[in-house]
Amino acid sequence: MGKKTRVGGACFRMANGHSASPPMVASPSQSQQPSHSFADEVRQLLRLGLPIAFVQFGMTAMNFIDVAMLGRHNEVALPAMALGNLLSWAASVFCMGAVTAMDPLLSQAVGADDREAIPRLLGRGALLALVLTIPTGLMLMPAATWLSLFGQPEALIPEAANYARLQALGILPFLWYSVLRSVLSSHASLMPQVLTIVLGNLANAGLDWLLIFGNWGMPELGATGAAITTVSCRWLMLFGLCWFGWRDLGPHLMQLRNHAIRARAFALGPLWRLLKLGLPIGTQFALEMGAFALTGLLIGHYDAVASGLEVEGGNLAAHQIALQLATMSFMVPLGLGMAASVRVGWAVGRGDPKAIRRSVSVALVSGATIMSGFMLLFILLPSQLASLLVIHEGVHNVAAALIPIAGVFQIGDGLQVVAVGCLRGMGDMRSAVVANIVGFWVLGLPIGAWLAFGCDLGPAGFWWGLVIGLSAVAVGLLWVVFKRAAEKRGRLSVD
C-alpha cells in the first residue's frame, strides 16, 4: 500500500508504482522532460509558462474590457459593478482554490507516467466543482442584504446586487473550465487554451458593446449587461475548450463511460480526500481575495460616510481601476507560478530532487524580473494607465494616486504567487494559508485601516496596508519554499 504522508491536515497515500499508459493517450511531450541547466530550465519554464500566462492574462482582459466600457458608460455603473464583482468573487474564490488541487495531482501523475489516474481525477474534479457550485450560488441570492450589512452606498446596491446574483450562473462553467485546464496543462497542451481565450475575449468585447451601451437595438443595461456577458462567455469558453482540446481531453472523458472507472472516479472516499486536499488551497485563495474584497468594501463604506465626493462611489471606482491594472500584471507571475507547479510536480512524480530545486530557482528569478518591469510602468505612468479605464476626472485623479502604490508591491506580489505555485507542485498546501493569515489579516488590513481612518489617508491608506501585507507574505513564503525544496518529496494521491 505504500507509506502515508500528511498534507493539509489529511492523509494521502504516496503512490510510487508506475502503470502502463492506455494506448489511446499520447506520450509525454518534450517539455515534460527534465532540464539540464539553468538556461535550459528558463527556456522550458517560459515555453510552458508564457502561454499559461497569456491565458490568465486573457481571462483578466475580459474584466478589463468590462471596466473600461463601464468607466465610459455613466458614473454609477463602474462602482456598482465593482461591488457586485467583489461579492461574487468573495463567494466563489474558495471553490476556485479547491479545484486547483487538481494541478499537483495531475502533474505528478503525468510525471510518474500513471495515465490510468487521469480519467479518475478528471471525473472527480468535475463532480467536486458541481458539489461546490450549489451552496456558493445560493450565497449570492441575498446579495442586496450582504451589501446593506456592509454599509455600502444605497444608490449602488440594486445594480450591484443584480450583477452578483447573475454571476451565480457562471460559477459552474468557470470551475469546469478550470478542471479541464488542469488536465491540458499537465499534458503541456496549451494551444486549446489560447484559442479559447481569444474566442472568449472577442465575444466578451462584442457583447459588452451591445449590452452595456444598448447598441444595434439591444437594451442599455450597464453593469447588468456586463454580468450577462460574463456568464455567457464562461459557458462559451467551456464548450470551446472541449472543442479545441478534444484530442487531449476526449480519450480521458471517453474512459469515464466505463462503469468501473466511473465508479472509482465518483466514489465518496476519494472525493472527500480531494476536497480535504483542496481545503487549504481554497482557504488560501479566500484569505488573499478576502483581503482585497474587504479593502474594497471598506473603501465603499468610506465613500458612503464621506462628504463632498464629486462622484457617488468615486473612491471605490478608483480602487477598482487600480486593482484591475494590478490584477492584469499579476497574471504573468500567476502563469509562471502555475507552470512552476506543473514542472515541480513532474519532477516530484519522477523522484528528481535536483530538478525540483532548479525549477524553483528559475521560477522565482523569472517572476521577480518580469514584475520589476511592471513596477516601473506603474510608478512612471500612473495617469496614462488610469486614462485607459475612466474618463471621469475625479475618479481618474484618485486612481492615478493609487496606481504607483500598486507599483510598489509588484515584486512582492510576483514572488509570493510563484512561491505558492512551487509549494503546490511539491504538495505543500498549508504554508500559504499561514502566510496569508499573518501577512494580510494580522498585519496588512489592520495597518491599512489605521492609515485610512486614523491617519486620514483614505483609499491610499488601505493600499499601503496591502503593500505591507504582500511583502510579509512574500518573505515568509520564500523562506518556506527553499526549505521544502531541500526536503525529500513524495507523490500525492487521493485514491
Establish if 17 belongs to a structural domain: no
CA nearest neighbour of 472 among 411, 422, 412, 407: 412
Percentage, residues of the chain above pLDDT 70: 91
C-alpha torsion sign, points 395, 397, 403, 408: negative
Residues 191-209: tens digit of each pLDDT: 999 999 999 999 999 999 9
Establish if 19 belongs to a structural domain: no
Is the pLDDT at 28 greater than 80, yes or no?
Answer: no
What is the overall mean pLDDT for the chain? 87
Q: Please tell me the distance from the alpha carbon of residue 385 to that of residue 466, in angstroms, as a whole number.
A: 20
Cα dist. 407→44, 129, 278, 290, 400 in Å?
A: 28, 35, 31, 21, 11
Mean pLDDT of 131-137: 96
- In the structure, what pLDDT confidence band is assigned to residue 315 with cuts at 50, 70 and 90? confident
Q: Please tell me the distance from the alpha carbon of residue 233 to that of residue 171, in angstroms, as a whole number.
A: 12
Establish if 397 belongs to a structural domain: yes
- In the structure, what pLDDT confidence band is assigned to residue 76 with cuts at 50, 70 and 90? confident
Strand-strand pairing, 10-13 and 4-7: antiparallel
b/e burial code for range 57-82 (CB count within 10 A of at least 16 → b): bbbbbbbbbbbbbbbebebbbbbbbb
Mean pLDDT of 139-147: 95
2-11, 20-29, 279-288, 481-490, range with the lowest pLDDT: 2-11
Cα dist. 79→59, 75, 267, 299 in Å?
A: 21, 8, 44, 11
Report pLDDT for 35: 76
Cα pseudo-dihedral 241, 246, 252, 256, rounded to 10? 80
Establish if 493 belongs to a structural domain: no
- In the structure, what pLDDT confidence band is assigned to residue 98 with cuts at 50, 70 and 90? very high
Report pLDDT for 2: 38
How many domains does the chain fold into?
1
Report pLDDT for 400: 94
Establish if 372 belongs to a structural domain: yes
Is the pLDDT at 306 greater than 70, yes or no?
Answer: no
- In the structure, what pLDDT confidence band is assigned to residue 32 with cuts at 50, 70 and 90? low
Report pLDDT for 301: 79
Establish if 18 belongs to a structural domain: no
- In the structure, what pLDDT confidence band is assigned to residue 313 with cuts at 50, 70 and 90? low
82-86, 228-232, 375-379, 466-470, range with the lowest pLDDT: 82-86
Establish if 20 belongs to a structural domain: no
- In the structure, what pLDDT confidence band is assigned to residue 278 with cuts at 50, 70 and 90? very high
Task: Specify the residue for cell string 510510487.
Answer: 16
Residues 153-204: tens digit of each pLDDT: 888 899 999 999 999 999 999 999 999 999 999 888 999 999 999 999 999 9
Mean pLDDT of 413-429: 93
More confident residue, 179 or 3: 179
More confident residue, 276 or 306: 276
* Domain interval for residue 181: 34-485
Q: Say how many CA atoms lie within 13 Å of 325 toward its Cβ.
A: 30
Q: Please tell me the distance from the alpha carbon of residue 299 to that of residue 315, in angstroms, as a whole number.
A: 7
Percentage, residues of the chain above pLDDT 90: 60
Is the pLDDT at 474 greater than 60, yes or no?
Answer: yes
Establish if 6 belongs to a structural domain: no
Residues 196-243: tens digit of each pLDDT: 999 999 999 999 999 999 999 999 999 999 999 999 999 999 999 999
Full-model pTM? 0.80
More confident residue, 462 or 390: 462
Q: Which of 59-73, 142-156, 204-218, 480-494 has the highest mean pLDDT?
A: 204-218
C-alpha torsion sign, points 139, 144, 148, 152: positive
Q: Is 75 helix (H, G, I), strand (E, B) or coil?
A: coil
Mean pLDDT of 386-413: 91
427-436, 459-468, 485-494, range with the lowest pLDDT: 485-494
Rg (CA), the chain: 22
